[in-house]
Amino acid sequence: MRGFAILCAFQFAGAVIHAFGVPMPGVVIGLVLFTASLFLGWIKLEWVESSSSFLLKHMLLFFVPMTVLTMRLAPMIRANWAELSVSIMVSTLAVMVTTGLVAELLLHRKDKVAE
C-alpha cells in the first residue's frame, strides 16, 4: 500500500506543478520527479516495486477508456482514414529510425569506452 501511495503522490505533485503553469503534462512531471527521486536515493525501489509490478501486470485495463473513445469516434476515423494511416506510418517509421540511430550511437560509444 505504501508503494501505491508513493506513486499517487508523485502523480499528484506533477498535477499540482502543472496547475501552476508548467507547460508539460502533470503525469510527465510526476514521472520525472519520481525517476529523479529513485536515482537520488530518496525513494527505495523496494518500496514501490510490488505496486508498480501490479499496475504493469494489469496495464491492459488502462487502455479500455481509449478503446471506448476510439469506437465512439469511428465515424470521424472512417472519414479521415487515409490521413490517419499516413500519420501513423510516418510517426512509427520516425520512432523506429530514431531508436535505431540512438542504439547504434550508444553501442559505438560503449565500444570506444571499452577499448
For 24, which DSSP code?
Answer: S
Distance of CA 40 to the CA centre of its chain: 21
What pLDDT does residue 69 have? Answer: 85
Closest CA to 49 of 61, 33, 38: 38
User: How far apart (Å, rounded) are the C-alpha atoms in residues 80 and 27?
Assistant: 30
Coil/strand/helix, residue 25: coil
**pLDDT tens by residue, the chain, 115 residues:** 888 999 999 999 999 999 998 889 988 999 999 999 999 999 998 898 898 888 888 888 888 888 888 888 899 999 999 999 999 999 999 999 999 999 999 888 766 766 6
Closest CA to 35 of 76, 63, 6: 6
Based on DSSP, count helices (H) and strands (E) in the chain, helices before strands. Answer: 6, 0
What pLDDT does residue 114 have? Answer: 65
Is residue 16 within 8 A of residue 25, CB to CB? The reply is no
User: How far apart (Å, rounded) are the C-alpha atoms in residues 44 and 10?
Assistant: 14
Under the phi-then-psi rule, with left for phi > 0, alpha for psi from -120 to 50, and beta for the rest, what region is 25? Answer: beta
